[in-house]
Amino acid sequence: MGRSTNPLRLALLAASLCSLATAASGEEPTSDCASGKPAEARIRACSAIIDVKPSAADARAQAFRIRAAAYSEKANHKQAIADFTEALALKGDDATAYFGRGESRLADGDASGAVADLTQAIRYSEPTPRLFIARGYAQLVKGDAAEAVVDFSVALRLDPKNAAALNSRGLAYRKTGDLDKAIADYSAAIALNPIYALAYNNRGYVYEARGDKPPPRPISAARSRSIRLLSAPRTA
């Protein structure tokens, strides 16, 4: 007569075999999901966590959020939005998920949805220039330049030396028709970052719109030295 099978022993054996298989394949879904590996690797690892239904809500929310960011890197914005939405269903106060979904919505052409999500991101996190610059840009795309000015101004109160915020507010002022303030912001951005090509270009557009001649760009030390060498008389 054969020996009876112990269900507990079978369960332990199955778990052991599963662990050995995972170790042999080198797969560590939890660590790979949160790693800096390429997007495809993170998508696979996070999917493995998401597919295990009994996993903790926080772990699933994080996996959805990280997978969403990976989809966003691949410009698959609709799938990114879907995953950020799943993450927020599990953790409704996740500022990072709101920020990510807002950025993805903006990339997908939904500026109003982006503003709404970025507003929630601001609500659930400490105020940072990055958040207000992102919402200000979404306001610009939405067509609300006056609100964009407000957001960029908040960003500058938080970081007065933020050249990107100055350049962006200059663009918002230009949209509102306040060209003098636009030029002042572009010039301030250039003063902070003398090689800020976008600010030079934007300021040039405003000068052209006003019929003015833009001031010459400063010559860098390296370029100045090159000019001196080229203009120096040659010796035999």
pLDDT computed for residue 233 by the predictor: 61
pLDDT computed for residue 143 by the predictor: 97
Please give the model's pTM, rounded to 2 decimal places: 0.78
Tens digit of pLDDT per residue, the chain (236 long)? 445 455 545 443 344 434 433 433 445 566 789 878 899 999 999 999 888 866 688 889 999 999 999 999 999 999 999 999 999 999 999 999 999 999 999 999 999 999 999 999 999 999 999 999 999 999 999 999 999 999 999 999 999 999 999 999 999 999 999 999 999 999 999 999 999 999 999 999 999 988 887 777 665 554 455 445 555 565 54
pLDDT computed for residue 52 by the predictor: 81
Termini Cα distance of the chain: 109
pLDDT computed for residue 109 by the predictor: 97
pLDDT computed for residue 19 by the predictor: 40
pLDDT computed for residue 218 by the predictor: 67
Contact 137, 148 (CB under 8 A): yes
Helical ranges in 91-162 per DSSP H:
95-107, 111-123, 129-142, 145-158
pLDDT computed for residue 6 by the predictor: 57
pLDDT computed for residue 167 by the predictor: 98
Nearest Cα neighbor of 19 from 11, 5, 209, 50 is 11
pLDDT computed for residue 215 by the predictor: 74
pLDDT computed for residue 153 by the predictor: 98
